[in-house]
Amino acid sequence: MNREEEDGKTLFRMIATFSGDNVYLHMSTYAITRTTDKCYVIDEFGKDKFILKNSTRKFAYPTIAEAKFSFLKRKKRQIEILTRQLHQAKMARRAIESELQLDPTETIPPFPWA
């Protein structure tokens, strides 16, 4: 049986890797080492990792479709967080430029220790 198949003995997690301007999507698989009434147990780097069956956010999922949907939700949230951080950084830059009375088009001189 192919490890990418949904067999009830495997959990799935989609990840992205980058090389230059290219993105590669990869479906990681984790063998379920044992189960309890409430969780799956997988081996991650030689240590048991417990994944609650009824949790809305899991590290890995029993179906490929759920793993893909989780990946999409994680990336949407990542974009929200990074967009907010970028906005805050721009606000801070404008505040210091205003305080220093700098023209935003000017280049900032290098620090003496740089």
**What is the tally of structural domains in the chain?**
1
Range of the domain at 64: 10-75
Whether 83 is covered by a domain: the verdict is: no
Whether 61 is covered by a domain: the verdict is: yes
Sequential DSSP letters for 76-111: HHHHHHHHHHHHHHHHHHHHHHHHHT--TTSPPPPP
Whether 107 is covered by a domain: the verdict is: no
- pLDDT category at 111 given cuts 50, 70, 90 is confident
Share of the chain above pLDDT 70, in %: 88
Whether 46 is covered by a domain: the verdict is: yes
pLDDT of 3 above 50: no
By the 8 A CB rule, do 29 and 12 touch? yes
Reported as a single tens digit per residue, the pLDDT across 80-93 is 999 999 999 999 98
Whether 53 is covered by a domain: the verdict is: yes
Mean per-residue pLDDT for 3-8?
Answer: 60
Question: pTM here?
Answer: 0.75
Whether 89 is covered by a domain: the verdict is: no
